[in-house]
Structure 1
Amino acid sequence: MSDRALSFGVVAEAYERFRPGYPAALFDTVMTYAGRPVRTALEIGAGTGKATRLLAQRGVAVTATEPDVAMLAELRRHVPAAVRTVRAAFEDLRPGESYGLVYAAAALHWTNPEGRWSRVAALVEPGGVFASFGGPVQLADPAVEEAVRAARAPFLASDEVPSPDGTPPGDDMQWPGTELQRSQWFADVQQSVIERRLTMTARDYVGLLSTISAYLVLPAAEREQVYSRIMRVLPETVEIAADITVHLARRRSEP
């Protein structure tokens, strides 16, 4: 697991405070695709439980897995008591119990690609659903986005996570849908986008940046310089484009 993948625990409280939660439309999208009641779910890399809450509050029995002790402690403060929590990286989960839904919220790209889909398949009931969702949080105003890019440029060329399999941004099917289509374990791969626009203060936006791995792995002195440089170019409030790209696939009965 990379340094960037393990960088979040130090900012667990900020992650909970500044990262946006997930809308009801996401739950509806997953359940409509499932086409039948989903009673059990396992989350890969649950973080502070933003997605856990979406399902658990609607009656799904969720097992939330997360390798970082600080993130898991924050999750336990915010999710219903019925949520089962397991401190484990995805690669350390052992097949045994299977679930109607296995999902990852802005976390799948941190998992080891070797054997990824056979491990996922071992956790999903035949006919069950795998879901992955997330997406970059961007400034909606191109001029403000450009000003921020210039402000961070001396320290950071980009704050985005590149496509794990090199799929170009303009392609119709994005990762992980590309890998799911090639996997012997899954069928009926679908991709959709839930549009989301948010308004937040400049300070909260910088708080959000402080939870993004590209900033977290900078040396502390550089990190503080980047944040102050960005603050200087932001208006008092900013509009955020935080669209959620959803990938869904169904576990084949036989590979």
Structure 2
Amino acid sequence: MSDRALSFGARAEAYERFRPGYSMELFDRVMAYAGRPVRTALEIGAGTGKATRLFAQQGLSVLATEPDGAMLNELRRHVPATVRTAQAAFEDLQPGEKYGLVYAAAALHWTNPEGRWPRMAALLEPGGVFASFGGPIRLADQAVEEAVRAARAPFLESDEVPSPDGTPPDNDMQWPGTELQRSEWFTDVQQSLIERRLMMSARDYVGHLSTISAYLVLPALEQEQVFRQIMRVLPETVELVADVTVHLARRRYGR
């Protein structure tokens, strides 16, 4: 697992404070796709439990797994007592209990691509649902975006995680849908978008940036400098495009 994948624990409280949660629209979309009652769910890379809450509060029995102990401790402070937790990376999970739903919220790109889909299928009931959802948060105002990019440039070329399989950003089907379509273990791959706009103070937006792995792996002095530079070019309040891309797939029967 990369340094970026394990960089979040030091900022667990900030992650909880500044990262947005997920809406009932997402839950409804996943359940409509399932087309049958879903009672058990396994979450991969649960972070501080933003998505855990959504599914657990609707009555699902959730096992939330997270490799970073500090993130998991923060999660336990915020989720219902019914949620089971385990400190484990996806690659550490052993086949055994099978779930009606396995999902990852802005976390799947940190998993090892080797054997990813057979391992995922082994955790799902036949006909069970896999869901992955998330997406970058961008400044809505292009001029402000350009100013932030220029402020960041001496320290960081980009703060985004590139597509794990190199899919171009203008492709109709984005990763992980591209991999799921090629996998013999899954069928009925769907991609959809939940549009979302947020307003944040400049200070909270920089707080959000402080939870992004590209900044977290910078030396502490450079982190301070880049955030100071970005604060200088931001208006008092910023509008953000925070659309959630949802990928859904069904574990094949008979495999």
Determine the structure 2 residue equivalent to 1:109.
109
Distance 1:193 1:142 in 2: 21
The reply to whether residue 235 of structure 1 matches residue 235 of structure 2 is yes
Q: Residue in 1 aligned with 2:222?
A: 222
Q: Which amino acid in 2 is paired with 1:75?
A: L
Partner Cα separation in structure 2 for residue 146 and residue 22 of structure 1: 28
Shift of residue 37, structure 1, vs aligned partner: 1.0
CA distance in 1, matches of 2:25, 2:205: 24
8 Å contact kept, 1:12–1:70: yes
- The amino acid across from 1:227 in the alignment is F
- Give the structure 1 partner of residue 148 of structure 2: 148
The amino acid that maps onto 1:225 is Q
The amino acid that maps onto 1:162 is P
How far apart in 2 are the matches of 1:239 and 1:28? Answer: 26
Identity score, percent: 82
Corresponding residue number in structure 1 for 2:207:
207
* Structure 2 gaps, min length 5: none
For 1:11 and 1:141, locate their aligned partners in 2 and report how far apart those are by CA, in whole Å: 27
Between the aligned partners of 2:39 and 2:138, the Cα distance in structure 1 is: 34
Indicate the SS of the match to 1:78.
coil
Q: Secondary structure in 1 aligned to 2:126?
A: strand
Q: What is the TM-score of this pair, normalised by structure 2?
A: 0.99
2:77 is paired with a residue of what secondary structure?
A: helix
Is the contact between residue 48 and residue 72 of structure 1 (CA under 8 Å) also seen in structure 2?
Answer: yes
Paired residues in the alignment total: 255
Counterpart-to-counterpart distance in 2, 1:48 and 1:158: 25
Q: CA deviation at 1:19?
A: 0.2
What is the CA distance between 1:171 and its match in structure 2?
0.1
Q: Could you tell me how far apart the structure 2 residues matched to 1:38 and 1:146 are?
A: 44
Q: Secondary structure at the match of 2:222?
A: helix
Distance 2:25 2:214 in 1: 29
Q: How does 1:54-133 map to 2 (within 5 A)?
A: 54-133=54-133
| 1:25 counterpart letter in structure 2 | E
Aligned residue for 1:10, secondary structure, equals helix
Q: RMSD across aligned C-alpha pairs, in angstroms?
A: 0.4
Deviations 1:131-172 (A, max 9, x none): 000000000110110000000000001000000000000000
Q: Deviations over 1:160-185 (max 9, x none)?
A: 00000000000000000000000000
Which residue matches 2:175?
A: 175
- In structure 2, what residue type is equivalent to 1:188? D
Q: Hey, what's the Cα distance between the residues in 2 that align with 1:137 and 1:219?
A: 23
The whole-number CA distance in structure 2 between the counterparts of 1:32 and 1:80 is: 24
The answer for unaligned runs of 5 or more in structure 1 is none
Whole-angstrom distance in 1 between the partners of 2:135 and 2:55: 19
Summarize the alignment of residues 18-37 of structure 1 with structure 2, pairs less than 5 Å apart.
18-37=18-37
Aligned counterparts, 1:236-251, within 5 A: 236-251=236-251
One-letter identity of the residue aligned with 2:235 = P
CA distance in 2, matches of 1:245, 1:219: 31
- The secondary structure found in structure 1 opposite 2:85 is strand
Distance 1:254 1:186 in 2: 11
After superposing on structure 2, the runs of 4+ consecutive aligned residues of structure 1 that deviate more than 4 Å are none
1:254 is displaced (CA, Å) by 2.2
